[in-house]
Amino acid sequence: MVSCTVENRVRFAETDAMGVTHHANYLSWFEMARVALLDQLGCPYRELESAGFLLPVLEAGMTYHRPTRFDDRVRITVTLATRPSARFRLTYQVHTGEALVMEGFTEHAFVNREFKPVRPPENFMCVVDKHFSK
Amino acid sequence: MVSCTVENRVRFAETDAMGVTHHANYLSWFEMARVALLDQLGCPYRELESAGFLLPVLEAGMTYHRPTRFDDRVRITVTLATRPSARFRLTYQVHTGEALVMEGFTEHAFVNREFKPVRPPENFMCVVDKHFSK
Amino acid sequence: MVSCTVENRVRFAETDAMGVTHHANYLSWFEMARVALLDQLGCPYRELESAGFLLPVLEAGMTYHRPTRFDDRVRITVTLATRPSARFRLTYQVHTGEALVMEGFTEHAFVNREFKPVRPPENFMCVVDKHFSK
Amino acid sequence: MVSCTVENRVRFAETDAMGVTHHANYLSWFEMARVALLDQLGCPYRELESAGFLLPVLEAGMTYHRPTRFDDRVRITVTLATRPSARFRLTYQVHTGEALVMEGFTEHAFVNREFKPVRPPENFMCVVDKHFSK
């Protein structure tokens, strides 16, 4: 299991007329955490991308426990719990202070620039081998 | 069962560096369809809001079948399949031409401006009675 | 002088915690009008793009006269007032009903995929010749 | 003259199909810098807001010198150069490393929740008196 946490201060532009963070923005926060996780694993998304690999979201789910507001400091933790194969799932928890405000998941597979499924890049699989026994 | 369809032409601002619609934007499209459904039911969201009712997203799920791109014309269909109670679910399908490109759901409950759960507004329940037998 | 008008219904996702349209979204509305103008001229942006031309914003300016709100119906009118050369300016006016709520401009030049300035595509210049005397 | 710098790592969600940061996002970055400047001055925007003051953008201008891309680390510096009166201007510079990639300004005035112009809040004027001679 590998995991990584990033912090965000809710931007005014991320709020909506309910006075809270618009629910779609949590997907961008998940993405920030995902990017940081790949960095931590030694597979920066930017390098995957220049090598021709894309990692689109195939499925996503979110459960909102309570709203967050402008200027709240939120922590987003992403976890890769099981050894990734062609398709893999990441889970997320969003906290303000000690409170779990929201959680969710995304599912991914590597594709090429034409969005055709491809085998994961070698350095990604090396990293996976280091963290998860086969 | 009630349902409603809206159309959108993918905005350039909705795309990302993969060259496709960024996955978070589909939640805003769901929201557009939801707003149109409430209009069609005779309960415009704007009026619910001025009466002090909010309808936040409590849960959401999305399955992406294929990417959409800048300038694609997409149709978003929202469906309320079962009689809503305190909490209710809407389902969505997104098409370009005949192809189903994406589907999902959102779950909602009425809350007041302090985000405390409240009974649905009366005119909403009247509308529900018209469309769904008890 | 050529001009083109598009309509938009303010999305909930476009609002912010002030209860009005977040000011950055007007740039996306300008973009929608710009795309429609290029269609009208017979030079769809999508085709320019697949021919390798990009049309980034080099400069922009906005003056906000009054706020717009969720569900407002806005009309965005874009005008090309003078014959475009390597660099050209578009102006915009946003109305709700009869009221001018906002206006602005963007400046553009054609570049290639490496963001190097290039001569405008031929079909764009043909269109320009049709509408503006040299 | 007072000024303040914030950092941002370009989010994937902030890019567009040109492969660069979508130009509208710079306005949100300006906003982040503005919020940090108000913190530094001892007038957090969050407190102004709960006291009933809003600080909408009345005018904005941007000049884009070169594109930024996903994962670029950008620094946004906001400057208040002259003593603010009823209406005041902030200027911004965005850098990646040593390169100035973009600059701009925003103009503001305090309004109440009905968007009527009001005198700036007292603690804001105290702060101003500390930094700018009358």
Test A17 with C20 for CB contact under 8 angstroms.
yes
Q: What is the pLDDT of residue B39?
A: 96
The answer to whether D35 contacts chain C (CB < 8 Å) is no
pLDDT for residue C128:
87
The answer to whether the predicted template modeling score (pTM) of the entire model surpasses 0.95 is yes
D93: three-class secondary structure by DSSP: strand
Please report how the helices C25-41 and C122-131 are oriented relative to each other, as an axis angle in degrees rounded to 10: 80
Q: Which of A11, A15, A16, A23 to mutate to test the interface with C (most CBs of C within 10 A)?
A: A16
Q: Please count the other Cβ atoms lying within 10 Å of the Cβ belonging to residue B49.
A: 18
Per residue in C95-118, pLDDT (tens digit) is 999 999 999 999 999 999 999 999
Closest to A33 (Cα-Cα) out of A81, A90, A88: A90
Q: Does C97 touch chain A (CB under 8 A)?
A: no
pLDDT tens for B2-35 read 999 999 999 999 999 999 999 999 999 999 999 9
pLDDT at A106: 98
C134 pLDDT higher than 90: no
Closest partner CB to C28 (pick from B13, B44, B45): B13
Chain A with chain D: Cβ pairs closer than 8 A: 36
Which residues in chain D are closer than 8 Å to B10, comparing Cβ atoms? none
Among chain D residues, CA nearest to A19: D49
The whole-number pLDDT of residue C8 equals 97
| pLDDT, tens only, C37-90 | 999 999 999 999 999 999 999 999 999 999 999 999 999 999 999 998 889 999
Backbone angles phi, psi at C133, to 5 degrees: -75, 150
Instruction: Give the span between the Cα atoms of C105 and D87, in whole angstroms.
Output: 22
Residue C8 — φ and ψ, nearest 5°? -145, 145
User: Residue D133: what pLDDT?
Assistant: 79
DSSP state of C98: T
DSSP D57: E
Q: Which of C16, C19, C70 sits opposite A13 (nearest CB)?
A: C16
Torsion of CA A107, A110, A113, A115, to 10 degrees: -60
- The two tokens of residue C14 are 């476009």
Q: Report ipTM (2 d.p.).
A: 0.95
Selecting from C19, C59, C63 the residue whose C-beta is nearest the C-beta of D59 gives C63
Best mutation target among C23, C45, C66 (most D Cβ atoms within 10 Å) is C23
Contact B53, B110 (CB under 8 A): yes
Q: Kindly report the backbone phi and psi dihedral angles of residue C26, in degrees, each rounded to the nearest multiple of 5, phi listed first.
A: -60, -30
Contact list in C for residue A24 (CB cut-off 8 A) is 13
Going by C-alpha positions, the residue among B31, B13, B116 that lies closest to residue B78 is B31
Q: Taking CA atoms, what residue in A is nearest to C15?
A: A16
Q: Which residue has the tokens 């589909």?
A: B26
Using an 8 Å Cβ cutoff, are B128 and B86 in contact? no
- The DSSP string of C46-72 is HHHHHTT-B--EEEEEEEE-S---TT-
Please tell me which of the candidates A24, A27, A63 has its beta carbon nearest to residue B59. Answer: A63
> Hey, is the C-beta of B13 within 8 angstroms of any chain C C-beta?
yes
% residues pLDDT > 90 (chain B) = 89
**Is residue C77 a contact partner of residue C8, using CB atoms and an 8 Å limit?**
no
H helices of chain B, in order, are 25-40, 45-50, 122-131
Q: What are phi and psi of D73, to 5 degrees?
A: -95, 115
Q: Which two tokens stand for residue C20?
A: 């009005």
Neighbours of chain C (3+ CB pairs under 8 A): A, B, D
pLDDT tens figures, D44-79:
999 999 999 999 999 999 999 999 999 999 999 999
Q: How many CB pairs under 8 A join B and C?
A: 36
**D16, D24, D69: residue with CB nearest B15:** D16
- CA-based R_g, chain A, Å: 16
C-alpha–C-alpha distance, residues D8 and D25, integer Å: 11
Integer Cα distance of A85 and C109 in angstroms:
45
pLDDT of residue A85: 85
What count of CB pairs under 8 Å joins B to D?
Answer: 28
| Test the B interface: residue of C8, C10, C11, C12 with most B CBs within 10 Å | C12
pLDDT of residue D86: 85
> Which residues of chain C neighbour A20 with C-beta distances below 8 Å?
17
Question: CB of D81 within 8 Å of any CB in chain C?
Answer: no
Q: Which chains lie within 8 Å of chain D at 3 or more CB pairs, if any?
A: A, B, C
Question: Which of these, D25, D26, D28, D49, lies nearest to D38 by C-alpha position?
Answer: D49
d(CA C53, CA C36): 17
CB A84 within 8 A of CB A21: no
All domains of chain C in start order, with CATH: 2-131 (3.10.129.10)
**Chain D residues within 8 A of A9 when measuring between CB atoms:** 32
Place of tokens 């769901």: B30
Residue D52 near residue D122 (C-beta atoms within 8 A): no
What does chain A come to in residues?
134
CB A31, CB D11: distance < 8 Å: yes
* Pairwise pLDDT comparison (D127 vs D37), residue with the higher score: D37
pLDDT on residue B133: 79
Q: Which residue of B has its CA nearest to A109?
A: B64
Residues contacting residue B64 through CB under 8 Å, at least 6 positions apart: A56, A57, A58, A59, B23, B26, B101, B102
The three-class DSSP label of residue B128 is helix
